[in-house]
Amino acid sequence: MFVPPDSIALDFDGVICNGLAEYFQTAWKTYQQYWTNPIQRPDTAIRDGFYTLRPVIETGWEMPVLVHALLTDIPHETILTDWVAVRDRIVADDAIQPPSLAYALDQLRDRWIADDLDGWLALHEFYPGTIAQLKAWNAAGIDWWIVTTKEGRFVRRLLGDQGIEIELGDRLFGKEVGRPKYQTLRQLRHARPIHHRLRRIWFLEDRLKTLQAVDREPDLGDIELFFADWGYSTPRERAESAMATSRIRPISIHQFCGDLTGWLTAPSNA
Ligand SMILES: [Mg+2]
């Protein structure tokens, strides 16, 4: 029998909102500024490749390195299967200091936000149907929150512009909370009032490693884990999420936008 969740915890980037354009523009500008002799080609030449390959990246400073890899025509397949080796070779060959590259990227983004917040926010696009679904859940009294590594104030603003009001620290937990998502999930479960005898939480996320980290916490074993297959992931991660032995269930955006009962069935690509 289907038992609906009491709460749904949602990642933001790669689940509700597509931020790839922001990642790319920030990476491209940082590359142009940081590299001694940046390769001069139009950004459109590599943009789609960046969108496809962005999931290989673990931390932000690698994004301009990916830009360089694409501009030097390293095959997509090599980047996909062997990113760490590709990255390390570029770092060595071009004498890159990752901490200073990370600093340059953060500075560039911070300056952009300070100078042109609206232009920066405009690079974020909601996946079709996600806003309507959040509004439908609000209307139906279904409890949901956002757990994201993005700064909460930006998520609040982006959702607010779509007519969805959500408060920091109430239903929105961003980068500022400074702890891994499994900690936030644990804290929320204990801190929030228990309205039901059995408090069922569903957690939807597009980063497989984050879901696997929750899976490793014994006291969080009753949280249902869902992998958003439309987000930022590699084909290997999507295949891994679909393995029958996994507690993690992949769902499509079609399922996300439909009835919650549909989340528990096999993914449909309709
Ligand atoms: Mg994400």
**45 vs 68 pLDDT, higher one:** 68
* Ligand 1 mean position, distance from CA 32 (Å): 26
CA 167 remoteness from chain centre = 20
Contacts of 51 (CB under 8 A, 6+ apart): 20, 24
Q: Is the pTM of this model over 0.85?
A: yes
Q: Where in the chain is the domain with CATH 3.40.50.1000?
A: 7-18+126-264
Measure 1 CA to ligand 1 centroid, in angstroms: 30
pLDDT computed for residue 191 by the predictor: 64
203 by DSSP, 3-state: which? strand
- Cα 155 to averaged position of ligand 1 atoms, centre (Å): 13
Could you tell me the distance, in angstroms and rounded to a whole number, from the CA of residue 227 to the centre of ligand 1?
Answer: 10
CA of 197 to the centre of ligand 1 (A): 31
Residues in the chain: 270
Check whether domain 7-18+126-264 has CATH 3.30.70.1140, yes or no: no
pLDDT tens digits for 125-147? 999 999 999 999 999 999 999 99
How far, in Å, from the CA of 228 to the mean position of ligand 1?
9
Residue 270 has pLDDT above 50, yes or no: no
Given a cut of 80, whether residue 32 has pLDDT beyond it is: yes
Mean pLDDT across 143-166: 94
pLDDT on residue 189: 79
Which tokens in the block code for residue 155? 């998520």
Q: 44 CA to middle of ligand 1, Å?
A: 24
**210 CA distance to ligand 1 middle (Å):** 9
Distance (angstroms) between ligand 1 centre and the Cα of 244 equals 23
